[in-house]
Structure formats: C-alpha cells, structure tokens
Structure 1
C-alpha cells in the first residue's frame, strides 16, 4: 500500500496496458509515443516503426491515414484533430498481418466553472446546513476530471467521475457546509482539473470558479456570563460583543436611573456604585446577557496582615525574654535570638509567597462529557477569599462563605460552554481565575461508505474512489477515521487541523485500483473519537456497513503458452482451454480439423482429433484471449520406442 496526496491510497500496483488487437510483443512494430494526449483542435504526430523485413505497413484512421508502404518508419499526422472517437492503428504484413492500436485521449478544458449556494440567497445563519454547488460546463474526457473544493487555501474535498464518455459533458458536484461565526467572510471556490497522466500537459490544465464570499448572521454570545470587579476610581464595564447584525445594548441595575444604550460604561461618565449590572446584547437572531458584579474595597486588615503582625509580636516578646535571662551566657542569648529571628523570617516569606499565588484548584482539571450527560466540577481556594464562583452561560454560581464551590449541570447541551472559576481575595493577587478544560463530545449519527459516482461492479485496473461520510460528530479535531479492507487497516485520516466545537459532517476518500484478486473484497470505515485519558475507554466508535467490491476482468489463461501434444493413434485427447474471467468467459474453438462447432466448451475431449492446430478463444465483455494447441501423432514405431 502506498499513500497518495491528501490522504488517498493506492491499494494495488497498476500495470500500464495498451488496448491492442495483438500486443507489441506479438506484432513487430513500435509506436512512439505509445499514447497520445491531444487538446481538441490541436495537432498530433505519432511514429510507427519496424526493424523486421515486411511486405508493407501503414496507418489506418478516419483522419490522417497512411497508405501501405515499404518504408520501415511512417508517421500518423493530423493538424486539427476534432474527431472524439478516433481509433488509429498501425498495421504490418510480416509473417501474417497484425496491428497495434494507438490510445488517443482528446481533451477539452471547461468553458466555465461556477459556484453557487443551492436554493438560498443572502446571508447564511450560523449553525444551519447549506449546500454549495459547482457547475463545470463542456469538459472532456470526464473520467479524467477532478473537482476540488477549497475554503481559502485549504482543500476540503474532491470528486472524480467514472463516466466513460469521450465527448464534452456538463458535470455538477456539491459540498455540504454548516458555518459557524468564525466562517463569516470565508471564501469558497471550486477548481476543475484534468489529470491526463504523464503524456498530458504539466501541470495539469485547470479552471477555477469565482470566489463565493460567505456573509454569516449570528446572535450575540459573551465569552463569560459574569464578571466580578473590585471598585476603584477607574471602573469600566465593557459589554461589547461580536454579532451580525450588530447588536443593540440595554443595561439594568437598581443603581442606574436612566436608560443607557452604550456597550461600555465608565465611572468617569456614570456613577457606578457597588452592586450588580446586567447588560443585554440583542439582534434579530437572539440575545445574550452578562452580569457585572462591582464589589467595594474595604480598609480592614487582611488575613495575612494580621498573621504577619502576630508573628513579629511573638518574635519581639521572645527576644526580650532572652535578653532578660541574666543566667545565660551572652553567646547563647545571641544564638537563640538568631534562631528565632530566622524562624519568623521564614514564616514571613511563606506568607508573602502565599499571598502572591492564585491558589485556585479545579478538580478534575480536564473533563470529558457526553452530550446530554450530567457534569460536576469543584473549585477550591487554598487561602481566604472574599468571593469564589463560576462564570458560565449555564449554572453560574458563587459563594462568600466557603473555600469551595461546585459547577453542576444535570444535562450539558451547550457546545460553546467554557466555565471559568474565579476568586476575589483579600490579598494580592486580589482577583484571578482558572479555566476548566471541558470537552463535550457526540458520537456520529451515522457512518456510511459508498463508491463515488459509480455502482458495483468495477473494472480491473481502473481508478475508483470510495467515500466515507460521517454525520454530526463533535468535536471533529478528536476524530480519527479508519479504513479497512477485510480486517486490515489500510489508511487512517485525522481531522486535527479543524477546530469547530459543534457537530459537523466530514468525509474521507480512498483511491483504489482493484485487480482480480480484489474480487469480493470487503471495505468498511470506522469513526473513532480519541478523547484522551479522561475520555471513555475504549474510545467510542461507530462503523459503516461493509461494502463488497465485485471486480470484472478480461479472460486470462492459467498457462497462456502454446501447447504441443504428441499423441499415439486412437488415444483420447484432452485440450484444456479454461480461463479465469469475470463475467465468466465464452469459448470458441476453431480448426480446419473440427467437423462440428464446439461452442462454449472450455475443454475438448475426443479420440478423433486429428493432427493440426486448434485455436481456443475465451471472451467476455472486457476482452478476449486466444490459445493454440498443436497436435502431433506419433507413429507406431515411435510409440514402441517409448515402451
């Protein structure tokens, strides 16, 4: 297995086959180049040469035919190639006449490539699903076409086509999106690229649509539902929030005597007394409120001030006591004074360091919750606190009496939730916060696998795309999509580069080139959410159904070489022409010695088969192959010699 660009995978080696009436190994001519790729209306020239004596060779074609000649190098040449179905071949009269067909690919780049939103005009709304459509007009050949979808410079998806039409066609492909507010102003485009192989133009010709700019409407959403502020001379309440259309603001508080429609309140323009101030931002899609809690500063001694003062007082008393103990030598008194001072200095430093840390601990620090399940998290302060609480869109809470506070939700269904534990302390730092690492997840509604633009069976040696679609999964950055052939994992696709927290639809594509050994192979894909050590173990997974691949391939003999059989007179002859093919091949026998037609028999059994050449041809809808049997009879003398 070899990985190919953007996560596509080759599952088998591909042999470059030329569709020949007889292969070049059997027919002594060489084509240069062996395959022609020509732009519609362009010129083409291909040489046919031979290094063996012959009775004449030439080119047969509906355009540019070359009459039979005795030359050993002839050129098929067309200056304006416009015949889509042209099938030129070079023939030679050597021991017998044979011919080699030239594969010709005539291509035409699209007249236009356009992008649009299906059944919608105007701004999109956050969280709703929309379908983008890419229309490619007048392109050929469609089986070499790849349509790629881009958001900015990021490749989102690509589609290939299996239609065998050689003439220009119109094609349409679609992409489902569910935009969030980060997509406001995003630019989508689609690109039609003709991948014509090594003989085609490099880089491959491509046409790009115009850019589709996404204008997104979304309701206001504050990052935090509450904010606590310690009052000073420069208090500012900033309620500004991003929304489209732009929101209107209203303020409510028992301390406000007039209506205010600004997004920001400043103490320099409005008297802001301690208390609660509720700001509501509203647009046509909804509203969201935030509560500002202003607390006054007090002049009473803090806990650590009292503790440090008490430490110094005790130290002073002990020092004075030691000085008054005249029974002790002076050196002993100084040693005791030094020890006591160092001990209290250590307590003082501990008090200072303790006052400088935030001292908030969330338990557990990271939590993984299934959509709709309950959740409970505690926040503990390790030093005295004025106010301890949780800022949250739902279940916000606070306490002024305890050193711990719980954030508890009976059924968590808010995808944007980012709870923050905050503390307002007596000493510096007076206010700090710790954010809870919360992962809200949802298993996919469904996982499906299909062949892109094709239904089984497939043909050996051609490229096909399998697509795995995952519906409504979150968060997608933890998703790993695994591809299996039977029980063997052949590829996995992660989506760590994506960031939306809400459920999305994603897909992955696998490129396969099946051979006859793949007939009956079973493919499936599996979506796995790898949520870390705090998540469920084993990780939650959802599997697709199994997709069985039926592969059709032309007949091939187990032993294709000519068989020469020496048979004694009157002995029974068995000619085994069995070939493997799908659909099962039909057999035709030809020989001047056959008295009656042997239709659709893989094996001839007869005692009356005379000396000569017997040709068996096995054929199905994909091709045919012949094998020769040469029968030679031994004379009685030769037969006796063998005994």
Structure 2
C-alpha cells in the first residue's frame, strides 16, 4: 500500500511538471510598469519581481544598474536624472535549478524631449502678399525627440489646414522644418497662420499629449478693388449719396467722370443733391488694378438727364446666344437709333421705342448705345454694358510630374485645367477633397475673349487621405444679370492612393490565455504589411497577423509588421488563466517522491 501511495505521488508530480512545461515556461519576472515614458532629465522607477526561488536577481542598464541580489524577490531600477537616449534596461534572474541558467525581461523606455521652440515664418518673402499668388510658410521645430512620435499641425485661425508625421527612427533630439504652400485671397487679409508640434507618446505618455505652438503669423494681403455691382440707379435726394467706397489693399484712389462735372473729384462719395441728373462713372484704382461703377442719377421731378430708358441696364449673353433690349423715350425728338457692331438700328423718326436685337451674338468686344436727336438740336446717348460669356469646353484634374501612389508626408502638386472660358475675370476655380472646399482662386485678367487657365494646388497627403477623391470646379459668377445659379463645371474626381507605414495604436498588450482570445497584430498600412513573430516559445516561422492564444505557451510574443515604408512592433504578454503550482513547487514534490520511494 505504501509503495502504491508513493508511486501515485510520483506520477502526480510528473504529470504536474509536464503541464507546467507549457503553462509556465515564460521568464518568471514581472515588470511594473511594462513600458515607461520619461521626460529627458526626469526620474524613473520600475519594479521587477519574481515568485520563484533563484540564485540571484538584478538589473542591467547604462544608468541605474542594480547588482545581482540574492534572497530578494523584488528590486527596483531607479534613475533620478535620466539622460541616456539609447537606454535599454533589462531585469534578469539566475535560476537555482532548472534547464535555463538565466532569463531576462526587457523594459521598453521612451525618453522624450519637448521642443525648445516652435516658430513660423515665410520663405523668401517679406511684406504683404498678393492675392492669388503662391507663398511658402515654414514651421521650425527645434530640439525635439523622439521625432517618430511628433505631429506638426498647420492652422489658419482655428481651422486645421494640414498635418505632417515622421517616419524617422532616430531617438536623439533633432530639428525639423516643415513647409506649407498657400494662395491667399482677399478674405485672408488679416488672417493668422500658426503651427503646433504635438508629441503623442501613447497611453503611457503624458495626457493630454504635450503641445507647443508658434506665435501667430499675421498675413497682410494686397488685392485690387472689385465692386459688387457695375451699375446703380440713384434718385436725387438731400440724404442720398453716390457711394463708390470699395474694399481694396492698398487703399484705393477714386476718380469721377461725367459730362456734368467741371472739376476733378477724388472723394469716394458724392452728395446726390449737389449734382445734376445724369450718368457718373467712378473709377477705383490701386497698384494691383482698377474697377469702375456707373451711377445713374435721376431727379425726383423734372428730368433734365438724357430722356432715354433701357429696359435692361446691363445684359449678360452666352456666346452665340440671342439678345434684345428696348430703348424708349417720352419726349418729342427728331430721331432715335442704336449704334452697335452687330444689330445696329438706323435713326428712326416718329417712333418712341426701338429695339437692339441680335439673334446670334459673336462679337466679344461689343459696345452698343442708344441715341436720340432732340428738338433743340442736341444729341444724347445711353450706353448698354454687355458681357458675352462662354462656359469651359472642359475641366480636368491631374498630378504634376508624378504617377502612381503618393507617399505619406511628401508634397505633391495637383493641376486643374480649364479650357476655353470667358471672360476670365468672372471665373473662380475651387478645389475640393470629397465635399470639403480646400481653396479657391480668382483672376484679375481683363481680357474678354476665351482663354485657357491652369491652376495648381500643393498637398501633403497622410494615411487618412488614402482613397480620397480630389476634384476641381470652374464657376462663372456673372452677377445678378447672369444665369442663376451661376454655371459650374467640375472635373472627374482624382482618386488618390497613399502609401504609409504600419503604426500600432499601442506598443504592448496583455492577453489572458483562452480558447476564444487571439493575439491580433493586424494593422492598417499601404502596401499591405508582412507579419513576423518572435518568441522563445515559437519553433517555426509564422507569417499570419493573428495567433490563437490557446495554442501558445504563456510568455512574451513580439509581432513586427513591415512594408516598403517601414516597420512597427507590438509586444503581447500572454498569461495563463488559473493559478498553477510553480516549476519549483512541482520539482520539490518530485524530489520528495523520489526520496520516499528510496526509503521504501
């Protein structure tokens, strides 16, 4: 009976030992915490403990090493002032009995430094910017580490314009210069651009992530005068003004012309009660261009202005389209007619209404006017402003000097080609990403005949832009007299593919071993990444992104995801579900069984 009992004890010990070979084969060390993020020059402390018998336990590190210590199950790696960038501490244990003489547990350390300064400036430019021209801004981030956790963001006011991340793996402090191309318009006059450097060091890092911002760069934009309407009718009154005031930078000069003015006037406003009824043309001028506006001043009583009325004060006609405008009078006259390069009407007597009519208008530079010969022998005329327009034959988008996928963080130029459009001064080209308006460009050209226009946009795509659609739109806003809504022509979308390296959301994950739980290393990257696993418990190469935890021994498993742009690793710490006797406990039981059997 005694022999049978000890035989049972022996077999039970062997059975437990066999089960522990799979369940507790990992290095019997626990680090707390498992990863540390430390500000350069700050203190750090990490505990390493074990629950097994050993010959000694210690820490190896360039700073803060702890000599091998016996009779202790917990030791601390501690540095008061950590300044070693490439530090790779590990805790080790020397077994008392067993197959392994020593095992180690490495501690991932991210030593970081926030920037000394973040500043913004213009590149190769000083002073005001010109509307529609391209300028380069530069953000300088000084002495920051590690740069792989850095994101530089560009803002205009509170609007995020762009952001850049970095694939550099250097751990020591570096300087980074990031550029942004802009095409300011008049709405940007007085805008504030600024940049921000953010260090996102993961869940173990400071929360929220530290951010350093530049001082704002105040932008002054020069733009020419542009009136909202080209003609305005004013009824003469003591309180009513002919107000030609318009926004422009630099501030514009004003000049007035009229048959009723005998002296030069430089004011932007005229008091209507001090003027004779008639036509007054105000021209607003600055160093970038000019724009004119016509005021038709009418009296409240007797009318001593030219006694002609047009039923349209301005007409907008599609090239090749038809147009007709009536000219009428209510006074006795010797004759009235229309002068025009197309559709002229000879002087006609005994009629108070005549019509300028063209069935197919093809003269771009047409200036029709109606005239009347009065009984007193004088003649007066009323001019008709005519805008002939043509919508684009085509609008297309393309990349400049590039084909194929784009690389995250690099700069690319897109081009929008608008073919055969007129008049270009009414054209606006808008850039979109999806349904988001990115930028728009207007033109100061005064040419009236059709032209081709090429507009470019610089982009810095990131991984969020993979699969994005960029497109451009040409809009002709011809004013209140033009077609409503304004005609718009869009390019086909340009589908953008962006290549970017793998990047795990966190570097370490603890998994409890279970039949349904997986070690999932899957990460988004383009091109699709390859996966490799490394562990003391793996005997063969595995290329899958997922491992089933129930088929693995507890321990540490490192997965590395790699594509042509870089790699990123994630550590899985697999732990068993229950409390099992340690290897040393089983070994003690086994030795006891052998001793008892030998006594028998």
Match of 1:87 in 2: 88
Distance 1:578 1:206, change over 3 A: closer
Does structure 1 residue 176 correspond to structure 2 residue 181? yes
* Aligned pairs (5 A) from 1:429-508: 443-446=396-399, 449-453=405-409, 470-472=414-416, 479-481=432-434, 494-496=435-437, 505=457, 507=459
Unpaired segments of 5 or more residues in structure 1? 1-22, 301-358, 368-372, 387-398, 413-437, 455-466, 482-493, 513-521, 563-576, 583-617, 626-643
Contact 2:150/2:200, CA 8 A, preserved across alignment: yes
Match of 1:527 in 2: 470
Distance 1:248 1:543, change over 3 A: same
- The structural deviation recorded for 1:119 is 0.3
- Superposition TM-score, scaled by structure 2 size: 0.58
Match of 2:296 in 1: 293
Distance 1:50 1:544, change over 3 A: same
- The structural deviation recorded for 1:134 is 0.6
Does structure 1 residue 68 correspond to structure 2 residue 71? no
* Aligned pairs (5 A) from 1:86-125: 86-94=87-95, 95=98, 96=100, 97-125=102-130
Give, in whole Å, the separation in 1 of the partners of 2:182 and 2:140.
17
Distance 1:274 1:243, change over 3 A: same
Does structure 1 residue 57 correspond to structure 2 residue 13? no
Match of 2:287 in 1: 284
Give, in whole Å, the separation in 2 of the partners of 1:153 and 1:377.
49
Contact 2:430/2:474, CA 8 A, preserved across alignment: no
1:220-248 residue CA offsets vs partner (Å, 9 max, x unmatched): 11111222234455542111111111111
Match of 1:145 among 117, 138, 150: 150
Contact 2:154/2:194, CA 8 A, preserved across alignment: yes
Give, in whole Å, the separation in 2 of the partners of 1:229 and 1:189.
46
Does structure 1 residue 166 correspond to structure 2 residue 109? no
Contact 1:178/1:504, CA 8 A, preserved across alignment: no
Give, in whole Å, the separation in 2 of the partners of 1:504 and 1:137.
31
Match of 2:227 in 1: 222
Match of 2:78 in 1: 77
Distance 1:156 1:180, change over 3 A: same
Contact 2:429/2:474, CA 8 A, preserved across alignment: no
Match of 2:264 among 251, 259, 262: 259
1:458-485 residue CA offsets vs partner (Å, 9 max, x unmatched): xxxxxxxxx776445896777244xxxx
Distance 1:453 1:529, change over 3 A: closer
Give, in whole Å, the separation in 2 of the partners of 1:29 and 1:377.
90
Contact 2:48/2:75, CA 8 A, preserved across alignment: yes
RMSD: 4.8
Distance 1:188 1:450, change over 3 A: same
Contact 2:407/2:498, CA 8 A, preserved across alignment: no
- The structural deviation recorded for 1:208 is 1.3
Give, in whole Å, the separation in 1 of the partners of 2:28 and 2:363.
81
Contact 2:94/2:103, CA 8 A, preserved across alignment: yes
Distance 1:475 1:280, change over 3 A: closer
Alignment length (residue pairs): 412
Contact 1:363/1:379, CA 8 A, preserved across alignment: no
Match of 1:540 in 2: 492
1:550-574 residue CA offsets vs partner (Å, 9 max, x unmatched): 566564499x766xxxxxxxxxxxx
* Aligned pairs (5 A) from 1:262-273: 262-268=267-273, 270=274, 272-273=275-276
- The structural deviation recorded for 1:133 is 0.4
Task: Name the structure, 1 or 2, with higher relative contact order (CA <8 Å, separation 6+).
Answer: 2
Give, in whole Å, the separation in 2 of the partners of 1:406 and 1:36.
81
- The structural deviation recorded for 1:281 is 0.9
Distance 1:248 1:363, change over 3 A: closer
Match of 1:134 in 2: 139
Give 3-state SS (helix, strand or coil) of 1:155's partner. Answer: strand
Distance 1:51 1:535, change over 3 A: farther
- Superposition TM-score, scaled by structure 1 size: 0.54
Distance 1:208 1:545, change over 3 A: closer
Distance 1:104 1:265, change over 3 A: same
Unpaired segments of 5 or more residues in structure 2? 1-22, 304-310, 331-351, 366-389, 418-426, 444-454, 476-484, 501-525, 546-559, 572-600
Match of 2:35 in 1: 35
* Aligned pairs (5 A) from 1:593-608: none
Give, in whole Å, the separation in 1 of the partners of 2:129 and 2:191.
12
Contact 2:428/2:474, CA 8 A, preserved across alignment: no
